[in-house]
Amino acid sequence: MPYYPDAMEYITIKNNGSVPIVSIPELNYDTFYQLNTGLVVDHPERHCVNYFGFRSGKGIRLICCIADDNTQDIHISSCVVSPDRPLEAFTSQVLSFERFEREIHENFGIPFRNHPWLKPVRFPFNRADRSKTIANYPFFTMESDELHEVGVGPIHAGVIEPGHFRFICNGEQILHLEIQLGFQHRGVEDMFLKKEKLLQRVVLAENIAGDTVAGHTTAFSQVWETLSGMEVSEDIHYCRTLALELERMAIHTGDLSALCTDVAYQLGSAVFGRLRTPLINFVQEWGGNRLGKGLIRPGRNPFPFTDELATRLKEVLKNYEPDFEEMSHMLFRLPSALSRFERTGVVSYEDVLSIGAVGMAARMSGLNRDIRSSHPSLLYGRFDHQPVIKHHGDVYSRAQIRRNEIRQSMHYLRKLIKKVPAAIPAAPLPSSLLPGMLALSLVEGWRGEICHCGITDSRGELMHYKVKDPSFHNWMALALSVRNNEISDFPICNKSFNLSYCGHDL
Amino acid sequence: MLNNLKILFHQGKQFIPDVTTARVPGIFRGRPVISTEPVNEEELAELCPTGAIEVSPVSIDLGKCTFCGECARVFPMKVRFTRDYKLSTNIRERLIIREGEDHPVEVDSATVRKEIRQVLGKSLKLRQVSAAGDNSAEWEMNAANNVQFDMSRFGIEFVASPRHADGVVITGPISENMAEPLQICYDAIPEPKIVVVAGTDAISGGIFDGSPALKREFLSLYPADLYIPGNPPHPLTIINGLLDLTRKKG
């Protein structure tokens, strides 16, 4: 029987909104379970943006946040549970809760019933069971004389982050891939509480994932501004929007280069690779760091955008565009490249929906998930943003999304620099945060939806901080994409997702 | 074919002819210079997110500095970040910039192990290990090998197998979960081998210093042959550091 949620069972906020922690309904677990699974089942427009727990008194308080893309609402509900009592897993109804529940199990030891496999997520230093270590991860295995296993990593051939990939193959064909993560765990969420100065916390946010500096720093800044009850001026929104779109353009360009590298197309690799440089050099001209570290700060605008910078950016884009278009024109018509891209690494609409994929990993298969249009903040409301959607879910779709999003970002940047808002002198920063609040921010980084969530205690100190990188959802999409592909196509599949290890491991 | 040539022609000349004298565009937070101007030193030191600033005399430790630039923003008369990207050295002490000093950070040739220049002076193959790096230093290392910076013209390259490598380049603050893979990788590299730590996170732990998720004993067992500061280090900082370590005269 379908479950009709009662509006009293959750509280609704908008993106970058906050709510007093006492006003979040505290349900019994059965109702909590019915509500949250019921909200998502058969509703592709809704998905879980964050589900986490923190210690509260003798129990664990679970907080579940479900975003509705049609209404721009985020429904928040909670439940206090004891760490030893077995609970029915949401995953038994909705697969996309799978990793959230593994994480809660790993952190607090809550034994979920009817969860397919409560595998470790990242072996955090404060895990409930210290006897589980990264060296003895429980891999899925198949007993057969016909099959063999291939282990890759944690250290990979290239200069990239560590993670272990375990393939089960039948000859050259991949039957199953399991991705073991956690090597990058630095205790980020815990450090947000230990480092008490605002500057320390924002530097921490910049270092969550060095390739998504604008994304994570914007999310952190918005959470902090909401928690301190601060309204920021338009020029700050302006600079953050510019930074996010520049980041998207630069990384997508680099990714197109990497895709060419992996099909041994040297010209594309070199040209897209070099085209990224003027973009990130421009970010350095603006803020002193090629990756945008130092550019975004909560409550203020350390590097106001000027008319001179606008002229420079115009020039950068003017030089970029013809070379980019010429190279794209060539690549997207080159049979030898297309034959490697097309129908390689396919993930179906049903699969991306069931695993809760976000960002490019959702849009590649026809699932419209883009915070810029579904929960817009900053200046995205001005653009009437239409997400780039593809339907084949293959490497080619992911390459096309990048090409089209580069064009889209270029268009937005040009629109933005037509009129540079005057920098408003910064108001003094509030010295304390509002007590007993929960604030949540969603930002569409270049990979997809970033969600930061901060909770303050009764004295206005940060007592819990939760970070969710889009990779948290999307690693499963990579694992599914390589099934029945040749193992030699793994690198191109991996590159076409380009997921974050450190953003996942935190 | 003709179209390929056309594309090639349209790229113009991309490579940087001399990576030792190239200028970085716009503003860049490279080597800081600290004036002798009297300021409230406690307040200055208190600003720093990573405790890189010491007082009387004022100094900035580039091994801890995240190059956020806050000190220069609040005390512009006291601290100024120059565009000097040559920051690498083999001596940890040299990363500490003191007030009133304005000289380059350099490799001390006298203390570089002899075999490094004898054996690795003309060809250096490195195995990079990201030990909880945030993918920014890794990014810049890949950039160091793109068509603009083209580090491989000097015979310096990253290789896949530690068996083919002459040393390890560590990025990231070294998580507990990466400590063992790093050790295994290091053990697999044949002698003579070097240890390079790149990026503030790797040199001191950076903003993650004090996190219980780290395990940094590796660095006390194997002293670094080269420190490359930055958050992340600029490709020119990386290339110049490696060149100075392996082949600088004098």
Provide DSSP, A52-81. Answer: EEEEETTEEEEEEEEEETTTTEEEEEEEEE
Nearest to A64 by CA among A114, A12, A16: A12
Let me know whether A249 and A114 are in one domain.
no
* Number of separate domains in chain A: 2
Q: How many CB pairs under 8 A join A and B?
A: 193
Let me know whether A297 and A435 are in one domain.
yes
In the predicted model, is pLDDT for residue B249 greater than 80? Answer: no
Contacts with B67 from chain A: Cβ below 8 Å: 288-289, 293-294
* Dist CA A229 CA A236 (whole Å): 16
In the predicted model, is pLDDT for residue B120 greater than 90? Answer: no
* Among candidate residues A121, A137, A168, the one where a domain is terminated: A121
Let me know whether A81 and A202 are in one domain.
no
| Portion of chain B with pLDDT greater than 90, in percent | 83
* Dist CA B99 CA B97 (whole Å): 7
H/E element holding A51?
strand A46-56
Query: Residue A113 is part of which domain span?
Result: 7-121
Which residues does A339 contact at the CB level (< 8 Å), separation at least 6? none
How far does B19 lie from chain A, in Å, by closest CA?
15
Nearest to B245 by CA among B167, B165, B150, B128: B167
In the predicted model, is pLDDT for residue A122 greater than 70? Answer: yes
Let me know whether A203 and A60 are in one domain.
no
Let me know whether A237 and A343 are in one domain.
yes
Report the CATH number that the domain containing residue A111 is assigned in CATH: 3.30.460.80
H/E element holding A245?
helix A234-262
Q: pTM for the complete prediction?
A: 0.95
In the predicted model, is pLDDT for residue A5 greater than 80? Answer: no
Let me know whether A269 and A415 are in one domain.
yes
Q: Are A448 and A362 in contact (CB under 8 A)?
A: yes
* Among candidate residues A121, A139, A174, the one where a domain is terminated: A121
Let me know whether A290 and A374 are in one domain.
yes
Report the CATH number that the domain containing residue A444 is assigned in CATH: 1.10.645.10
**What is the structure's pLDDT at B250?**
53
* Dist CA A191 CA B47 (whole Å): 18
Q: How confident is the model at residue B247 (pLDDT cuts 50, 70, 90)?
A: confident
Residue A152 located in a structural domain:
no
Q: How confident is the model at residue A357 (pLDDT cuts 50, 70, 90)?
A: very high
In the predicted model, is pLDDT for residue A296 greater than 90? Answer: yes
Q: Are B243 and B235 in contact (CB under 8 A)?
A: no
Which residues does B78 contact at the CB level (< 8 Å), separation at least 6? B34, B35, B37, B39, B44, B58, B71, B99
What are the tens digits of pLDDT across the range A40-87? 999 999 999 999 999 988 899 999 999 999 999 999 999 999 999 999
Let me know whether A211 and A65 are in one domain.
no
- The residue type of B112 is V
Contacts with B185 from chain A: Cβ below 8 Å: 155
What are the tens digits of pLDDT across the range B59-104? 999 999 999 999 999 999 999 999 999 999 999 999 999 999 999 9
- Say how many C-beta atoms besides its own lie within 10 A of residue A318's C-beta: 10
CB contact under 8 A, A185 and B175: yes
Residue A147 located in a structural domain:
no
* Dist CA A40 CA A5 (whole Å): 11
State the ipTM, two decimals.
0.94
| Portion of chain A with pLDDT greater than 90, in percent | 92
**What is the structure's pLDDT at A428?**
87
Q: Which residues of A130-158 are buried (b: 16+ CB within 10 A; e: fewer)?
A: eeeebeebeeeeeeeeebeeeebbbbbeb
**What is the structure's pLDDT at A7?**
66
* Dist CA A450 CA A76 (whole Å): 17
Q: Which residue of B has its CA nearest to A162?
A: B130
Contacts with A281 from chain B: Cβ below 8 Å: 25-26
In the predicted model, is pLDDT for residue B118 greater than 90? Answer: no
On whether any CB of chain B is under 8 Å from the CB of A151, the answer is no
What are the tens digits of pLDDT across the range B4-38? 999 999 999 889 999 989 999 889 999 999 999 99
3-state DSSP assignment of residue A497: helix
**What is the structure's pLDDT at A17?**
95
Residue A246 located in a structural domain:
yes
3-state DSSP assignment of residue A394: coil
Let me know whether A325 and A469 are in one domain.
yes
Average pLDDT over residues A133-154: 91
What are the tens digits of pLDDT across the range A318-352? 999 999 999 999 999 999 999 999 999 999 999 99
In the stretch 322-351 of chain A, residues with CB closer than 8 A to chain B read 322-323, 326-327, 330
Per-chain mean pLDDT for chain A: 94
* Dist CA B162 CA B118 (whole Å): 20
Determine whether A308 is exposed, middle or buried from the number of CB atoms within 10 Å of its CB (0-12, 13-18, 19+).
exposed
Residue A258 located in a structural domain:
yes
Q: Which residues pair with A466 in a beta bridge?
A: A453
- Say how many C-beta atoms besides its own lie within 10 A of residue B217's C-beta: 11
Let me know whether A194 and A76 are in one domain.
no
Let me know whether A101 and A207 are in one domain.
no
| Portion of chain A with pLDDT greater than 70, in percent | 99
CB contact under 8 A, B49 and A294: no
H/E element holding B124?
strand B124-130
Pair type for strands B124-130 and B156-158: parallel
Q: Which residues of A432-467 are buried (b: 16+ CB within 10 A; e: fewer)?
A: ebeebbbbbbbbbbbbbbbbbbbbbeeebebbbbbb
Let me know whether A96 and A220 are in one domain.
no
CB contact under 8 A, B134 and A207: yes
- Residue A55 structure tokens: 């210690």
* Dist CA A49 CA A67 (whole Å): 6
* ∠ Cα A491 A497 A503 (to 5°): 110
* Among candidate residues A99, A121, A143, the one where a domain is terminated: A121
What are the tens digits of pLDDT across the range B163-174? 999 999 999 999
Residue A473 located in a structural domain:
yes
- Mutate which: A155, A217, A297, A305, vs B, most B CBs within 10 A: A155
Contacts with A213 from chain B: Cβ below 8 Å: 136
Q: Which residue of A has its CA nearest to B5?
A: A267
Residue A126 located in a structural domain:
no
Q: Where are the beta strands (DSSP E) in A235-355?
A: none
Which residues does A93 contact at the CB level (< 8 Å), separation at least 6? A37, A41
Residue A401 located in a structural domain:
yes
**What is the structure's pLDDT at A423?**
87
Contacts with A155 from chain B: Cβ below 8 Å: 127, 129, 181, 185
CB contact under 8 A, A271 and B133: no
Nearest to B138 by CA among B177, B173, B171, B175: B171
Contacts with B127 from chain A: Cβ below 8 Å: 155
Q: Which domains does chain B have, with CATH numbers?
A: 32-98 (3.30.70.3270), 109-247 (3.40.50.12280)
Residue A2 located in a structural domain:
no
* Dist CA A304 CA A33 (whole Å): 47
CB contact under 8 A, B142 and A159: yes
Q: Are A6 and A57 in contact (CB under 8 A)?
A: no
Q: Which residue has better confidence, A113 or A8?
A: A113
